[in-house]
Amino acid sequence: MIKFFLMVNKQGQTRLSRYYEHVEINKRTMLEAEVIKNCLSRSKDQCSFIEYKDFKLVYRQYAALFVVVGIDQTENEMAVYELIHNFVEVLDKYFSRVSELDVSFSVSEIRL
């Protein structure tokens, strides 16, 4: 099951976040900071799956944006990795080459 969905830029700023389980606001900021730090600190040669606390992180980088999905231990990482790619392809079609600005200013239009 998907726990959360994040879109983050290279500077570590969250551009889009969606939680599918209740997480308090102050814990969200701490969680996002730790998740972002873990994903951004990895090299391109490393795997895009990370074991983190009681769940897994699946991430993918597209230009200056990182898409990070938190999933439980039973979820298939490759399926989520493909889901991220399909999501970005849909955004590309909708925005005609999606960019960080599109995501930042159009969050209300994106329904996850």
Which pLDDT does position 102 carry in this prediction?
58
Is residue 24 pLDDT above 50, yes or no? Answer: yes
pLDDT per residue over 46-72, tens digit each? 999 999 888 999 999 888 889 999 999
One-letter amino acid of 49: F
Which pLDDT does position 64 carry in this prediction?
82
CA separation for the pair 54, 103 (Å, rounded): 29
pLDDT per residue over 36-48, tens digit each? 999 889 888 899 9
Q: Which domains does the chain have, with CATH numbers?
A: 2-95 (3.30.450.60)
**Could you please report the per-residue DSSP string of 38-75?**
HHHTS-TTS-SEEEETTEEEEEEEETTEEEEEEE-TTS
Angle (CA) 53-54-55 rounded to 5° is: 95
Which pLDDT does position 51 carry in this prediction?
93
* DSSP label of 76: -
Which pLDDT does position 98 carry in this prediction?
62
Is residue 106 pLDDT above 80, yes or no? Answer: no
Which pLDDT does position 108 carry in this prediction?
47
Mean pLDDT of 23-41: 91
Specify whether the CB–CB gap between 17 and 4 falls below 8 A: yes
| Average pLDDT, rounded, for the chain | 86
Q: Which helix (H) or strand (E) holds 78?
A: helix 77-95
Beta bridge partners of 66: 8, 61
